[in-house]
Structure 1
Amino acid sequence: MRVYLFIVAIAATATFLFTPIVRHVAIGMGAVGRVRARDVHTIPTPRMGGLAMLLGFTVAMFVASHIPFLNIVFHSNHQAWVILIGAVLICLLGIADDCWDLDWMLKLSGQLLISVFVAWGGLQIISLPLGSLVIASPSLSIAITAFLIVVSINAVNFVDGLDGLAAGIVAIGGIAFGIYSYVLARTSPSYASLATLVDVMLVGICLGFLLHNWHPAKLFMGDSGSMLLGYLITCASIVMTGRLDPASIHATIYLPAFMPILLPILVLFLPVLDMIMAIVRRLRKGQSPMHPDRMHLHHRMLAIGHTVQGAVLILWGWAALMAFGSVMLLFFDPWAVAIGFVVCAVALLLATMLPYLRRRNEDMGTVADSEDAPAHHAK
């Protein structure tokens, strides 16, 4: 555990130190987000923060590769380096979009090509944890893996609309993944786990970037950051669950993540929900799935009266509830987890609706006062 905490500190520190440098680079390259009708920020702000996160991830990866405890992670296969190469490619694609606003079809094609390359390089879902179901076709394995990566990349990209929102949600998901993968690794001869390593590095770069990205943000992560985070958290989940044998794991341990398709949805529940709602909403209007609007979950939070910071904290709360709800099954009775889940959900629902309820009470009070005024004047 101490090794992983050390890697978190390395990733966070490196990202924190690189971010101001990347900010100046972004300004020099013209990667400055103009204020659009759907944006929350009111002044042009540099983007391309994904480059700082990539640099922090790379530094942490090379430090980890020289730690004896983690030797098996790097010497057993080449998955760690495939993940890093894919991270570089996806970040470069995002940087191009941050600078030149690529057409969405071109960007999606690039995401798909990179995802196929990563899957072809060895990061694949070989078995699905559904009894004895095994993916026998290499082509099908690559297709499923690439699909999951592309979906998660765009889910995080869709939710990246408020300062600190995407980085916080992915950090929460990374912590949940890290806990689960660490528990699974303890059942093996070596505690070292590539999934846990990717998770802790992911959490580290999110924390380091959040110190610069909290409202009002000095630098946006841009597509280079949101795409990188979606890519990394999916890679970790694929490494963790894509090759598990259900018969080799105790049912109570395996229950929270019995399926690699559901795992990213649980820890990225809000981004995936927001993406599905946006796609359905736009298709019903006859628009492109990538057509921008101001109907995302974070826009709705602001519309009912939340501040930017308040909306982000509440959405973090919902993300934590979904992410840790399954992880808690590792340590507590399912009934206790269910009761705690319901209690927390009710509390979050009240917090979510509080500005709306407060404004409604004020409006009702105003109406009551206006009705009483004529009667009082008549007397």
Structure 2
Amino acid sequence: MTGQTTELVLLVIAVASMSVLGTRMVRAIAHTRGWVAMPREDRWHKVSTALHGGCGFYPAFLMGALWVALPHVLAAWNPTKSPAHAVHEYVLLGALLLGSCIMFLVGLWDDVKHFRPTTKLVAQLGAASLFIWAGGVFPLTGSQVLDILVTYFWFIGIMNAVNMLDNMDGLASGVVIIAGGTLLALTLGARTSVEAYPVGLPLAAVLVASLLGFWWHNRPPATIFMGDSGSLFLGYVLAALAIPSSLNEHLGIQKGEMFLGPVFALLIPATVLAVPIFDTTLVTITRKWRAQKASQGGRDHSSHRLVGLGLPE
């Protein structure tokens, strides 16, 4: 095991531990203050459950991500890396971290005070703009305008998809752990240097580690829910890490002059996030068919349907 790998393993353990303890502390405070979700007919849980779980694991993610970012920023001007590439990569990293912070705060405010849908959408567009401005855009059509529009749609879609997937104990956290682990593996397979990891690899590891700590409390029967403060920032980070860029060595679709094409540039990220995309599409279509708001709660998600068919939670 190399020194870099050992450091990454220790970081994962530290972040997961912080997340476990942080979530436990938030759960205790939530019960003391009465910040709990009571059972409702349109919800899945059957007992009062603590809220604001995102406040327990986002700080763990942020501290781990800053730990990842610091040495990379200090090494950005290493002679083995071109300055232009270095600047682009770390501007992307800064945009991702700032955007995640914005979406965490927006989600927390929405959990407490409730935003109007249009206000939340404006905030999501603003956070997405940071990453897009930094150069995180799908390389699809050759038209910068069209590629930017697709990227905006991707960000908004994934953020809301992860948010809507948070409908059953351990579901959203479990799916994001799998998706984050898949992105980690793709980035590892795509790396062009055996001496250093792409920035997106330890960042994906930190994301997974922070969620593993939360999942321990969120697995069935859940004792705490993540809320929008968790789901919106998770959706944002996943959406950003899934876009082929210098953060993740373009997920292997671009190596030197070789480019596998726009189909793979969108197909690979969409496959990684197929579960939240499918669930949101299904729920949106069926609710619109019944003349209901797509954003309202309900027990009509794909997960609920599978349990109804006899599968265990």
Interval of TM-score (by shorter of Structure 1 and Structure 2): 0.7 to 0.9
Q: Which has the larger displacement, 221-230 or 287-296?
A: 287-296
Aligned partner of 1:259 in structure 2 is 264
1:99 to 2:112 alignment: yes
Residue of structure 1 aligned with 2:158, choices 144, 152, 163: 152
Please say if 1:169 is aligned against 2:167: no
Q: What secondary structure does 1:8 align onto?
A: helix
CA distance in 2, matches of 1:212, 1:27: 14
Counting only pairs closer than 5 Å after superposition, residues 62-141 of structure 1 correspond to structure 2 as 62-67=66-71, 71-72=75-76, 76=87, 77-120=90-133, 122-125=134-137, 127-128=139-140, 133-135=141-143, 137=144, 139-141=145-147
CA distance in 2, matches of 1:243, 1:141: 18
How far apart, in 1, do the equivalents of 2:209 and 2:257 lie? Answer: 29
Alignment partner, residue 52 of structure 2: 48
Kept in 2: contact 1:126–1:242 (CA 8 A): no
**Contact 1:26–1:32 (CA under 8 A) maintained in structure 2:** yes
Instruction: Name the % identity.
Output: 27
Q: State whether residues 189 and 252 of structure 2, in contact with CA within 8 Å, keep that contact through their aligned partners in structure 1.
A: no
Contact 2:188 2:201 in 1 (8 A): yes
Once residues 258 and 46 of structure 2 are traced to their aligned partners in structure 1, the CA distance between those partners, rounded to angstroms, is 52
Q: Structure 1 stretches of 5 or more lacking a match?
A: 312-379
1:183 counterpart residue number: 189
Query: Computing the radius of gyration over CA atoms, which structure comes out larger, 1 or 2?
Result: 1
Alignment match, 2:256? 248
What's 1:7 paired with?
11
How many angstroms apart in 1 are the aligned matches of 2:35 and 2:249? 37
Who is 2:205 aligned against? 200
Distance 1:211 1:244, change over 3 A: closer
Structure-2 separation of matches of 1:35 and 1:82: 38
Q: Specify the SS of the correspondent of 1:261.
A: helix
Instruction: Evaluate the alpha carbon distance shift between residue 117 and residue 30 of structure 1 in structure 2; reply closer, same or farther with a 3 A threshold.
Output: farther
The one-letter code sitting in structure 1 at the alignment partner of 2:200 is A
Distance of 1:4 and 1:85 partners within structure 2: 22
Report if aligned partners of 1:199, 1:236 keep a CA contact under 8 Å in 2. yes
Task: Write the letter of the residue equivalent to 2:45.
Answer: H
With over 3 angstroms needed to count, the CA separation of the structure-2 counterparts of 1:188 and 1:36, relative to structure 1, is: same
Work out the CA distance in 2 between the residues paired with 1:144 and 1:73.
32
Read off the aligned partner of 2:53 and give its amino acid letter.
Answer: G
> Could you tell me how far apart the structure 2 residues matched to 1:109 and 1:248 are?
37
1:22 aligns with 2:16: no
Quick check: 1:87–1:231 contact (8 Å CA) kept in 2?
yes
Aligned equivalents of 2:215, 2:77: Cα separation in 1: 28
Greater RCO, 1 or 2 (C-alpha within 8 Å, sep 6+): 2
Distance 1:280-1:79 versus aligned 2 partners, 3 A rule: same
TM-aligned CA deviation for residue 63 of structure 1: 2.3
8 Å CA contact 2:218, 2:225 repeated in 1:
yes
C-alpha distance in structure 1 between counterparts of 2:232 and 2:304, whole Å:
20
How far does residue 170 in structure 1 lie from its aligned partner after superposition?
A: 0.8
After superposition, the CA RMSD in angstroms is: 3.0
**d(CA) in 2 for partners of 1:245 and 1:287?**
40
In 1: Cα distance, 2:47 partner to 2:289 partner: 33
TM-score (norm 1): 0.70
What TM-score do the two structures reach when normalised by structure 2?
A: 0.83
**Deviation at residue 221 of structure 1 after TM alignment:** 0.7
Letter in structure 2 aligned against 1:109 = V
Q: Deviations over 1:15-56 (max 9, x none)?
A: 112112222444466542232212111122122111222101
1:183 offset after TM fit, Å?
1.5
Pair 1:174–1:258, CA change in 2 (3 A): farther
